[in-house]
Copies of this chain bind each other. A is one copy, B any other.
Amino acid sequence: MNLRIPGPTPCPPQVLEATAKPMIDHRSPQFAELLNDVVRRLKWFYKTQGDVLILTASGTGGMEAAVVNTLSPGDKVLAVTIGAFGDRFAAIAQTYGAEVVRLEYEWGKAADPEDIRRSLQEDPAIKAVLVTHNETSTGVTNPLPEIARVVKEHEKLLLVDAVSSLGALPVETDAWGLDVVVTGSQKGWMVPPGLAFVSMSQEAWNAYTKAKMPRFYLDLGRHKDYLERGQTPWTPALSILYGLQVALQMMGEEGLEKIIARHAYIGRLTREGVKALGLNLLADEAYASNTVTAVKVPAGIDVRTLRRLLQEEHGVVVAGGQGKLQGQIFRIGHLGWVTEDDVRQVLDALAQVLPKVGFQVPIRP
C-alpha cells in the first residue's frame, strides 16, 4: 500500500521493527539513555539550544500544551489562521479563556506578515501570536521567518504549530526566535503516532512562571523536571520512542539539508505532475507546501469514488478534505519516508483513475 496521506505517514521497516521491542522500566538508567539520546537528536533538528519536551499525545495535545503552559485566562492573543489547524489552535486558546483576536485568510492562501504587523500595532495588548507553519488542511506553508521577525520586533511570544513541517521543511527555532514549536511523531519523523514534541525558549519559560491556565497532564514544567533525571512524569509511549530513536538515526545519516532538498524536489514534482493531469492546486503556488498537496476536485467528480478506486485498483491512499473543504479537495501527503517513485505511482494511478470517474486527462506528449 502506498499511504499518501499527510499523517500517519509510512514508517521504514527498521522503525516498525524497533517499535516491537519488549518493554523496559521507564524509571531505569536504560530508559534515561534512550530518552536523552532522542531529545539530543530532536534538538539538533529543531536547531535549538532550548528545551524539547516529549509528551505522550497527538499533535493536538502538543498544541494545547503550547497554549496552557504560556498563557493565562484573559490574555489577548492573535491567532493567525489559514485553515483547519489554524482554527484549531485558536479554538484551544479560546477554550482555556484567552481573548482571541483572529486574523483569518481564505483557505489556500498564506498569511501576510504585514497584516500581522498591523494587528500588533493596532492592539498593543496582544501578548502572543499563534501561527501554523504548514497548514495540512490546505497545503500552504506560511512565511514563518518573516512572520517571526515581525512578532519578535514587537516582543510578543510566538507559538508555532510545526506539526507537519518540522523535520521536513526548514525550521530554525533559535535563529528565528520561535518560542514554542510543536510537532508530532507521525509526520516528518517517519514514526507511528503517539508522541508530540514541544520546544520551549527562555522567554516561553518566563511566560510559564506567570501562566495561570490549568495544566497537569500537559504541564511542561513537570516534563522538564523529570527530563533532568532522564524520565518523563507519566509512563511514556515507549514503543514509539524506540521507533523514534531509529528514525532519528536514519534522518541524521541522510542529513537535514538533504532531507529538506528531497521534500522540496518531491513537492515540486507532485505539483507539476498534478497540473500536468489538468488538475488545479488549492494553494497559492508561491506558498505551496512541500509536505502536502491539496488538489481541487474537478466539477462533477465524486471524490469518494476517486479515492476508492485509487485504493482498490492501485493501492494508493490519499486524504480527503477537512472542514469546509470536505468533498472539494483531496490531499496527497509527501512527507517523511517518501521517494520520487512513491509520488510517480500516485500520479500514474490518478492518470488511470480520473477518466473512470469522468475526468479526461490531457494526453501526455
Contact = CB atoms under 8 A, between A and B. Distances in A.
Interface of A: 1, 3, 5, 7-11, 16-17, 19-28, 56-61, 64, 91-92, 95-97, 184, 186, 192-194, 213-218, 233-240, 243, 317, 319-320
A20 B23 contact: no
B194 A240 contact: yes
B20 A214 contact: no
A239 B238 contact: no
Contact of A61 (B7, B21, B57, B193): B57
Contacts of A239: 19, 192, 194, 239-240, 243
Nearest to A192: B239
B217 A61 contact: yes
B23 A3 contact: yes
Contacts of A184: 235
Contacts of A58: 56, 217, 234-236
A239 B27 CA distance: 23
7 tightest CB-CB pairs across the interface, nearest first? A194-B237, A58-B234, A20-B20, A8-B23, A192-B239, A60-B234, A16-B20
Contact of A56 (B20, B96, B193): B193
Contact of A23 (B9, B26, B59): B9
A214 B217 contact: no
A193 B235 contact: yes
A243 B11 CA distance: 17
Nearest to A60: B234
A214 B192 CA distance: 28
Given A61-B217, A239-B243, 13 more contacts: A9-B23, A11-B23, A19-B20, A23-B186, A24-B317, A25-B319, A56-B194, A60-B233, A91-B216, A92-B217, A184-B235, A194-B239, A237-B237
